Amino acid sequence: MTWRAADLHIHSALSPCAAKEMTPRRIVAQAARRGLGVIALCDHNSAANVRALQEVAQGLVLVVAGMEIMTREEAHIVGLFPDAERAEAAARSVRDTLPLLKKLPSVYEEQQLLMDAQDRVIGQEERMLGAASALDLDETVRLIHSHGGLAVAAHVDRPSFSVVSQLGFFPEPNDFDAIEVTPIGLRAGRERKFRDSGLPIIVSSDSHYLDNIGQGFTELDMNALDFESFAFAQKGPESGRRPRA
């Protein structure tokens, strides 16, 4: 077996709630320092910084193209895509449903920063990325799947912005590909409540700050550092996954 530590929920400075320090080069450097082999960039309702992160990470870390979508119900769903093109295509569908910011903020931390691989700011996102999209939960999962992605119910053990907190229950049947539990939830044994779902359970950091990267991760048995091997390990037998916190 070849085990790779995967932190599959990391935000960049594009997300309005993430720190300005979350730039492509700093994220990759911190991931490498923490011994991660796989990371996923999952900004709120956008995949616009994925290409920059992938350019920085070549030969160092596998960067999965991701996005954290807020549904109409205000539940968070992580989409993990085979490549940046498909992540960006899904993101365009989400972006079209978001309201415009009334005024671009002047405070650096709140600018929703578009960045290149040299950590230079190349623009600002003008849509309100922290808002709920117009897509309901089922439509969101279908959108992710239509672009070849995996749909993960994000931080299901949290009291807000999770499928459980927003619906009051975990839906059955569902078309999710995995369930994400927080590091605190894993240490408290809260993942046991979701084992009957039959879905793979993973742990990710949901990092908004550099120090958070790698605080929660999932070891995946991967034959190669590519999306196909990653997707098989994520969805395959439980013996190929080891959540850590």
Determine whether domain 3-244 maps to CATH 2.40.30.130: no
Residues 182, 183, 188: CA angle, nearest 5 degrees: 95
Q: At what angle do helices 50-57 and 24-33 cross, to 10 degrees?
A: 50
DSSP 149: -
Both tokens assigned to 60: 């160092």
Closest CA to 152 of 181, 183, 128: 181
Q: Is the pLDDT of residue 228 over 70?
A: yes
Mutual orientation of helices 84-95 and 50-57 as an angle, nearest 10°?
A: 160
Instruction: For 214-229, give the secondary structure using H, E and C.
Output: CCCEEEEECCCCCHHH
- Which amino acid is present at 126? E
Percent of the chain with pLDDT over 70: 97
pLDDT band at 73 (very low <50, low <70, confident <90, very high): very high
44 token code pair:
């709120």
Which of 17-26, 65-74, 109-118, 223-232 bottoms out in mean pLDDT, i.e. has the lowest? 109-118
Contacts from 84-89 at CB under 8 Å and sequence distance 24+? 84/47, 84/50, 84/51, 84/54, 86/147, 86/148, 86/149, 87/47, 87/50, 87/147, 87/149, 88/47, 88/48, 88/50, 89/147
Give me the residue spans of the domains in the chain. Answer: 3-244
Q: Is residue 106's pLDDT more than 70?
A: no
Model confidence band, residue 111 (pLDDT cutoffs 50, 70, 90) = confident
Neighbours of 136 (CB within 10 A): 13
pLDDT value, residue 173 = 87
Among 58-62, 98-102, 135-139, 191-195, the range scoring the smallest mean pLDDT is 98-102
**Per-residue pLDDT tens digits for 173-219:** 899 999 999 999 999 999 999 999 999 999 999 999 999 999 999 99
What pLDDT score does 101 carry?
84
